Amino acid sequence: MNMPHYIDGQWAAGEGADVLSVFEPALGLPFTELRAASPAQVDRAVAAARRALPAWKTSACAERARYLHGFATALGERRGTLIALQMRNNGKPRHEAEVDLDDAIATFSYYAGLAERLDDQQNREVALAVPGFSAHTRLEAVGVVGLIVPWNFPLVTSAWKIAPALAAGCTVVLKPSEVTPLIELAYGEIASELGLPAGVLNIVGGKAEVGAALSSHAGLDKLSFTGSNAVGSRVMHSAAEFCRPVTLELGGKSAIVVFDDCDIDQAIEWIIAGICWNAGQMCSATSRLLVQDGIADALLPRLGESLDKLRVGNPLSEEIDMGPLTSQAQFAKVSEYFAIARDEHLNCLAGGVALERTGWFVAPTLYTDVPAESRLWTEEIFGPLLCARRFASEEHAISLANDSAFGLVATVASADLQRAERVANALEVGHVWINSIQAVFVETSWGGGKGSGIGRELGPWGLSAYQAVKHVTRCL
C-alpha cells in the first residue's frame, strides 16, 4: 500500500525512515510493506486536527451522531474484508475476529446514541446555597486528542477511543500499532466516504519514533494510550511536560477465583476462555488461577487435559480454537517464559513448549503450585500461560488475588452468589465477572487501578474522558 496515512482528509505516502513489514503469523512471513510516517507528518496531522477543531466542537450533536452511525454501518458493509484481515494479520480464529468487528460496530452505535443526547446535558442549572447568583454547567470537547492503540485488539481498541472522542467534539490523531497497521486504515476510508470534515480524523502509522512524536507533541490537549507499562510510563512523562490529561490502559496479571462449589466443566470453560482467547494476548487475561483446596485435585488434571485438546492452527485453513501469537517478538517472549519455568522447576500439567511447525505457535499451558515469587506468577506474559495456586478460604483467596502490582479485572466462580458478590466487592480491580466468560459490553466501564492504568473507557465514562466541564456563574 503506497498511501498508508490519512492526514487532513487526504491519503499520503509515508515519509519516515522505517519500513513496516506486515506479517501473517500463522506462516511467519510478511505479506506487504508500508513506509512509516515521519515526525513532520505527525506535525501536519496535529495541525490539521487543530484547524478542524473549532468547527467540529461546535457542530450540531445530531450531525456528529450521524457520522458515528455512518461509521457503524460502513464497518458492517466491510465485514468480510475486516474479518479476513484480522485472521491473517492477527492470527485470530474466525469467531474471535467476528466478535471484534461486532464490538467495534456496537461502540460507534452506542456513542452515536450518546451524541444525540448531548444537547440535553448542556446549560444545566446548578443549585446554589447563596442567593443572588445563578450557575449552569457546560460540557465541552477537551480539544485535539492523540490516540495510540496496540496490536492485540486493533479494530476494537481504536473504536473505543475514536467514537467517544468524535462524539464529544474532539478532533483526533490516531497512531496504530506497527504490528497491525492495516485494519485501522478502514476508518480513514470510511471518513472519506462519509465526507467527514478534513482534519477531524487523522491516521499516522509507524514505530516508536512516530509514537514519541505524537505523545510529546505540544499541539495535543489530551492523549489516550493502550499498551505496555514501559511505554505507558514514557507517555505519562510526555503528558507531564504539558500538564495535560492522559488516559492509560496498561497491563494486567488478573486472577480467576474458583470455589469448590463450582461445576467443574463450567469452571473449565471460563478458565480456558480467560487465558486462551486471542492466544492469551490480552491485558485482561486471567492468567492466575486460584482454586479452592476442595476442588483442586479434581479440576486441575481435567483442565490440563482440556488445554491439550484445544485445536491450535492457522485460522485461514483450519477450524481452530486458538491461533498463533501475533508477532515474532511475542513468540520469543513467551518462549523465554517457558525457559524460566524450566529453570524454576515449575510443575507443568499441559503445554510448556513452542509448537514445532511453521508460524508463531505455542501450546496452551498450565503450571500448578506456582510460588508467589515466581516471575510467571508476577509478570504479565501476554500468552496462553496459566499459573495455578490453591487457597483454603474466602479470605485467603482475596488476599492472593489482591497481591499483585496490577488491578485490571478478575473472575469469580461460585454457586454461592452472595459469596461471589462479597469477593467481587473486595477485589482491587476495575471489572469483575461472576460465573461468566469475559463478556465486555460497551455500556460498562473498562479500566483498572494500580499498575493497570489511569481512567476509564466505554460507557458514559468513556465519553466524559473527552469532555471538559465548564461552569458559568452570574450575579442576578
Residue 1, pLDDT score: 61
At 154, the pLDDT band (50, 70, 90 cuts) reads very high
Average model confidence (pLDDT) across the chain: 97
Q: Which of 229, 205, 96, 100 is nearest to 157 (CA)?
A: 100
Check whether 224 has a pLDDT greater than 80.
Answer: yes
Report pLDDT digits (tens) over 290-335.
Answer: 999 999 999 999 999 999 999 999 999 989 999 999 999 999 999 9
Q: Are 440 and 446 in contact (CB under 8 A)?
A: yes
Torsion angle, CA of 284/380/82/97, rounded to 10 degrees? -50
C-alpha cell at 77: 458493509
Judge whether 319 counts as a catalytic residue.
no
> Which sign, positive or negative, has the C-alpha torsion 385, 230, 141, 407?
positive
Mean predicted confidence (pLDDT) in 377-402: 98
- 61, 283, 380, 387: which is the annotated catalytic residue? 283
Residue 3, pLDDT score: 75
| Strand 246-249 to 453-454 pairing | antiparallel
- Looking at this protein, which amino acid is placed at residue 230? A
Check whether 226 has a pLDDT greater than 70.
Answer: yes
Check whether 389 has a pLDDT greater than 90.
Answer: yes
- 24, 96, 249, 380: which is the annotated catalytic residue? 249
Report pLDDT digits (tens) over 37-96.
Answer: 999 999 999 999 999 999 999 999 999 999 999 999 999 999 999 999 999 999 999 999
Q: Which of 119-123, 206-210, 362-366, 414-418 has the lowest mean pLDDT?
A: 119-123
Mean predicted confidence (pLDDT) in 421-448: 98
Q: Are 367 and 300 in contact (CB under 8 A)?
A: no
The whole-model pTM stands at: 0.96
Percent of the chain with pLDDT over 70: 100
Cα distance between residue 368 and residue 229, in whole Å: 27
Domains in the chain, CATH or no CATH each:
5-250+452-475 (3.40.605.10), 255-441 (3.40.309.10)
> What are the φ/ψ torsions at residue 310 (nearest 5 degrees)?
-60, 140
Judge whether 283 counts as a catalytic residue.
yes
At 182, the pLDDT band (50, 70, 90 cuts) reads very high
> Which sign, positive or negative, has the C-alpha torsion 69, 71, 74, 76?
negative
C-alpha cell at 90: 492477527
CB atoms within 10 A of CB 270: 21
